Amino acid sequence: MTAEGIIDLTKASYDANVEECSEIARLMPPTDGADGRDLMGNRVSARAGRPLEVKAGSNVRAEDGVHGVTHFYAETDGAIKSIPGEIAVVDTLVIDSDVGFDTGNLKFNGEIVIKGSVGQGFTVEATGNVLVFGSIDAGATMVAGGNVVIGHGIGGRRTRVVARGEVRVGYIEEARVRAGGDILIGSHSAQAILHADGVIGVKRGEGPKSGGIGGGEVWRLAGIQMQVAGSNAHNMTNLTAGMDPAGAKKLDLLNRKLEESNKLILRHLSRFQLQKLDVAAI
């Protein structure tokens, strides 16, 4: 809840992380129950509970405790996977739906598989790879310690995707994408800002935009592969090859500082009615 009393449901988080040696579940023994009465005051006999059989799956150990309680502990970091009769810990978090208000933001130490899309304004963070069957909607953020694979596209000016590895996606429109490896696009890039330490490649597919980079900025160290550069809408398309964006910014800053220093020198020379400074004569 914000200071204004507004509940921001996008800030809710889906906490799936479990740590090694942490207790993840307890199996309680059945009880006999207690008799009750219905609305007419008649006695209703309780039925005795039945034992539930749950076994420890992969990366989980079970220990018997007091009073018939069974404790389950994680033997590795990961996410809980529960199926009828078994509980396990896996290193891949699987979301069978969209990332939205039902799940909240995702943050997981491992790999994430999303069988839907990442909704507008939501965040997905993983230390491993991220696979999305759908798309990354406007305003969403994704940060991955490995590779990112998007089945459809990435769209929206406030949308940001950062991967330490490579990014594979159907299309990119108006979003910011940064990859430590390659950025491989199946259809087109439009008005996007792309930074890659590897190759940025756009394949030839179907449609008028296919195979092209239209508008936006493209920075890559290794190479750019595409069919068409530029846009009929006269949007500026900047392609920079063989230069790191951070290095380019530093170079631009140094050039601006050099220009300012030269202007300052000229102002000081004009005070003494000098046209230039003869360093050899000093």
Neighbouring residues of 193: CB distance < 8 A, sequence distance ≥ 6: 175, 176, 177, 216, 217
Structural domain spans, the chain: 1-90, 128-243, 247-281
In the CATH scheme, what architecture does the domain 1-90 have? Beta Barrel (2.40)
How far apart are alpha carbons 167 and 197 in whole angstroms?
A: 11
DSSP string, 137-202: -TT-EEEESS-EEESSEEE-TT-EEEESS-EEESEEES-EEEESS-EEESS-EEEEEEEESSEEEE
- pLDDT tens per residue across span 142-192: 999 999 999 999 999 899 999 999 999 999 999 999 999 999 998 888 889
Q: By the 8 A CB rule, do 7 and 1 touch? A: yes
- pLDDT tens per residue across span 90-147: 889 999 999 999 888 999 988 999 999 999 999 999 999 999 999 999 999 999 999 9
Tell me if the pTM is above 0.85: no
